[in-house]
A = this chain, B = another copy of it.
Amino acid sequence: MSSQPPHPTLLIPGPIEFDDAVLQSMSHYSESHVGAGFVATFGETLSMLRELFQSQTTNPTSQPFVISGSGTLGWDLVAANLVEPGENALVLSTGYFGDGFADCLRAYGACVTKLDGPVGGRPQLLDVEKALKDKKYKILTVTHVDTSTGVLSELEELTAAVKRVSPDTLVIVDGVCSVACEEIAFDKWGLDGVVTASQKAIGCPAGLSISIFSSRAMEALEKRKTEPATYFASMKRWLPIMKSYEAKKPSYFATPSPQLIHALNTALKQILARPLSERFERHMEVSDRVKKAVTDLGLKIVATEAKDQSHAMTAIYLPENITIPDLLPKLLSKGVVFAGGLHKEISTKYFRFGHMGVTVVDPKRKDIDNALEALRSALSECGYVKA
């Protein structure tokens, strides 16, 4: 029995449904942010993040960060610390969030070149290689899964290409909608940074910016010619704090949120209790099932090709003559919350179904079956008949 009151099942691409134990950790009694109990919890949480990112090589070692903020703060960490004003950044965009990362980099003075995929697709590897040969880029950023389109980028192949063509370029991943549901082998693939948030597949309420950076990225920060023009997003200011917490020593820069860190600790323990490979496979299975059901209904998926489709979510075109204000309230009346569109070119023409976390991995939950059934009846009530 869940300890949560009955409520519509939240199947947007984040925030997701949360496990009871995670939500209970949110109401942990108040603790000092520098007391031994909380320091141990935060330290353990940082160490677990290394495991989640498959980044446990000790020499050179990567550096995890957990900072109070939205996932968006991760972009600021990258833009303020790893690129100096006037340096070049190559942004691969597969939707709203790729465009946002580019805006953020520009705000800090980076010279941004953006390669856009077509709606539902991603920039081609040959074009990326060509761009990398044309100009020297300090960093390349890629959205692993763009929450606005459900387009998946192929990180391993991409990173290998960058290392081949422009080995000095740092590869930075926006993993907000992919960490803990799509495979990310940080060390093996040679990534330089992944920024994410708590409220998607990690399964902890929103409010934490979570990231990991390679020793190469940390060296690039060390070697800057100019000081980063930020304070709260300064990785140099947070670095000793993260190192201290992980060494189980108190330290202070800005007060962390003990309750959110407790919830993240609980969520990570649940994730790491089973092999990560099993978790990724389960998300693939469920995603395949959703995509087949949607296609069987005669609907079209925004991410055009199967290899470009994320396993975290599915963005689905509305049938003709059915609108978001028609469909979403009918779904809500059946206890299911989906999201509307977000990509500027097609925003009113599609909806989004998130399938991450407990909804996917907890065998007691029937969220996916219920959602697919609700979708079938809601469409039918809207007068939809498969062509």
Contact = CB atoms under 8 A, between A and B. Distances in A.
A26 B254 contact: no
A103 interface: yes
A171 interface: no
A206 B15 contact: no
Contact of A254 (B72, B103, B337, B339): B72
Given A73-B69, A231-B79, A231-B104, A29 B14 contact: no
A137 interface: no
A231 B104 CA distance: 5
B232 A69 contact: yes
Contacts of A232: 69-70, 72-73, 75-76, 104, 233
Contacts of A67: 70
A256 interface: yes
Question: Which of the listed residues A76, A80, A228, A233 has the most CB atoms from chain B within 10 Å of its own CB?
Answer: A233
B206 A258 contact: yes
B255 A205 contact: no
A277 interface: no
Secondary structure dominating the interface of A: loop
Interface stretch (A2-10, A47-55, A125-133): A2-10
B107 A230 contact: yes
A259 B207 contact: yes
A15 B255 contact: yes
Please classify how large the interface on chain A is, using the bins under 10, 10 to 19, 20 to 34, 35 or more: 35 or more
Contact of A15 (B16, B24, B32): B32
A27 B266 CA distance: 13
Contacts of A227: 107
Interface string A107-125: 1110000000000000000
A107 B30 contact: no
B35 A256 contact: no
Contact of A70 (B15, B197, B256): B256
A305 interface: no
A206 B14 CA distance: 22
Given A205-B259, A231-B76, A260-B207, A12 B24 contact: no
A143 to B, nearest CB: 15
A27 B27 contact: yes
A56 interface: no
A254 to B, nearest CB: 4
A369 interface: no
Contacts of A107: 227-231, 234
21 contacts: A7-B29, A10-B32, A14-B255, A15-B31, A15-B255, A15-B258, A17-B30, A23-B259, A26-B26, A26-B259, A27-B27, A32-B337, A33-B206, A73-B232, A75-B232, A76-B231, A197-B255, A199-B257, A205-B257, A206-B256, A230-B230
A71 interface: yes
A68 interface: yes
A108 B108 CA distance: 11
Closest 7 CB pairs of A and B: A207-B257, A72-B254, A70-B254, A104-B231, A23-B27, A26-B26, A206-B257
A18 interface: yes
A256 to B, nearest CB: 7
A79 B230 CA distance: 9
Given A72-B231, A73-B232, A76-B231, A15 B27 contact: no
Contacts of A33: 15, 206
A27 B29 contact: no
Contacts of A4: 29
Contacts of A32: 10, 12, 15, 337, 339
